Structure 1
Amino acid sequence: MSTASGPIEYADRGRGEPVLSVHGTFGGWDQGLVAAEFLRVNGYRIIAPSRPGYLGTPLSTGQTFTQQGDAMAALLDALGIDRIIVLAVSGGGPAGYELAARHADRVSRLVQVDGVCIPGPIPGAAAHRFIA
């Protein structure tokens, strides 16, 4: 879909209150649908975009997390959605945080599942604990 931020590939499944399912690393709209399937079967509409640089959404649509949050808001504009629940998983966490922080009036609830929130390399103490 064409948006003010650039093209965004997405899937739209189900009926009911909309949920934006922001996928993690190594996925796209397909991973977003899988992550939110439990919501779809319980009456929610799932909108699952491919984040910039994944599948059919070019990286030029949002090279930074801030730009990715803005791109998600641009997708909502293009779809005519004023407010939405956001489910952000793993590597999709930063885009979800930015969307909620920069466009708070658009996000009714933010749910993070193992959302990445530490910028840059893993701190030394954590690296020794988690990297063998």
Structure 2
Amino acid sequence: MAILERDAITARLAAGVVEYRLDGEGQQVVVVFHGGHMRAGLPLGEEVFTTSGYRVLIPSRPGYGRTPLATGITPAAFADVTADLCHTLGIEQVAAVVGISAGGRTALTMAARHPHLVERVILQSAVAFLPWPDRRTRLGGRLVFNASAEAATWAAVRLLMRIAPQAGLRLLLRDLSTLPVRHVMAALSEHDQAELIALFTLMRSGAGFVNDMLAVPDCADQVTQPALVIATRTDRSVPFTHAESLAATIPRAELVESRADGHMIWFAPDYPAIAQRIKDFLATI
């Protein structure tokens, strides 16, 4: 079954409106900050938590979905907003804060600013505090993903995915892996290709992606919680140097190298082993 968008709701907090989704059962909660072009309703990489008995709280970061930029334009501001959301929902402890791709900086900032709320940090293909993205992506991103152009950009993606899905998938995967795209495509099962096509079809950038490209203060050395840093050397979108930088700077970090062919580590043959490592990490006292 292809990825389907899930229902998300909004809360009005002191700082403004935030869109979020709270799924799963159990007492413990994991907060997930998705990366670029994602919002609360799009599921990615959550099963490792929900099948282990955790609830997942997924807020749409500023500029994505129905969370306006004004709610918390910086990672520090939105980290405080998310802590307020947890308080509003009666969540007194977060078992882990998860930062995926461009959501990594927000996860790290929340851990640094709210150490009594956050117990652990999990980073997946996460952007660190090194310069990011590269110049080509920065210039292209401002051109095709700015607030006035992104709707047309994603409409074109949806059209391409409908009339020539394989060509569309190859086009998008080219920017996510350092390997030849034919190699990446050949390694994906038909099921995984269908999942990725569905995911890319649902993506939007809003005002979020251009905001993600702004530099933010480095707080990695202020993260005192245990941290699991997961990345692959074949990631073109977020180079492996980001993971190495985080592992070297966060005092209690462990680096786990994925063998994925690119940025989307959840679609790699070794992901079951990565998922088990995440479960073991969550179970540690």
- TM over 0.5, shorter chain: yes
In the TM superposition, what is the alpha-carbon distance from 1:88 to its structure 2 partner? Answer: 1.2
The equivalent residue for 2:52 is 42
Cα distance in 2 for partners of 1:53, 1:41 equals: 30
Residue of structure 1 in register with 2:128 after alignment: 117
Structure 1: which amino acid aligns with 2:92? D
Q: Determine if the alignment matches structure 1 residue 56 to structure 2 residue 56.
A: no
Counterpart secondary structure, 1:71 = helix
Distance (Å, rounded) in 1 between the aligned partners of 2:44 and 2:125 = 15
Please state how far the C-alpha of 1:119 moved relative to its aligned partner: 4.8
Q: Does 1:30 align with 2:73?
A: no
Structure number with bigger Rg? 2
**Do structure 1's residue 101 and structure 2's residue 150 form an aligned pair?**
no
Secondary structure class of the residue paired with 1:56 = coil
Q: Which residue of 2 aligns with 1:90?
A: 101
Please give the alpha-carbon distance, in whole angstroms, between the structure 2 residues aligned to 1:79 and 1:106: 13
Which structure 1 residue ranges, 5 or more long, are not aligned?
A: none
Unpaired runs of at least 5, structure 2: 1-10, 136-177, 179-235, 238-285
1:7-65: per-residue Cα shift (whole Å, max 9, x none)?
1111111111111111011101134x322122112211111110111001111011111
Distance 2:106 2:133 in 1: 19
Shift in alpha-carbon separation, 1:79–1:66, aligned structure 2, 3 A: same
How many aligned residue pairs are there? 126
Amino acid of the residue matched to residue 79 of structure 1? L
Aligned residue type for 1:46: V
TM-score (normalised: structure 2): 0.41
Q: How far 1:87 sits from its partner (Å)?
A: 1.2
Q: Which structure: greater strand fraction? A: 1
Q: What secondary structure, in the 3-state scheme, does the structure 2 residue paired with 1:107 have?
A: coil
* Cα separation, 1, equivalents of 2:53 and 2:93: 17
Where does residue 73 of structure 1 map in the other structure?
A: 83
Query: Take 1:122 and 1:27, find their aligned partners in 2: how far apart are those partners?
Result: 17
- Regions of 4+ moved over 3 Å: 119-124
Structure 1: distance between partners of 2:81 and 2:61 = 9
Measured in 2, the distance between the counterparts of 1:110 and 1:5 equals 24
Matched position secondary structure for 1:91 = helix
Cα distance in 2 for residues equivalent to 1:7 and 1:61: 6
Output the TM-score relative to the length of structure 1: 0.85
The 1:37–1:120 alpha-carbon spacing in structure 2 relative to 1, beyond 3 Å, is same
* Distance in 2 between residues matched to 1:72 and 1:119, nearest whole Å: 24
**Structure 2 letter corresponding to 1:5:** A
Aligned-pair RMSD on alpha carbons? 2.1
Q: Which amino acid aligns with 2:40?
A: W
Whether the aligned pair in 1 keeps the contact of 2:105 and 2:129 (CA below 8 Å) is no
Partner of 2:20: 10
Structure possessing the higher relative contact order (Cα contacts under 8 Å, 6 or more residues apart): 1
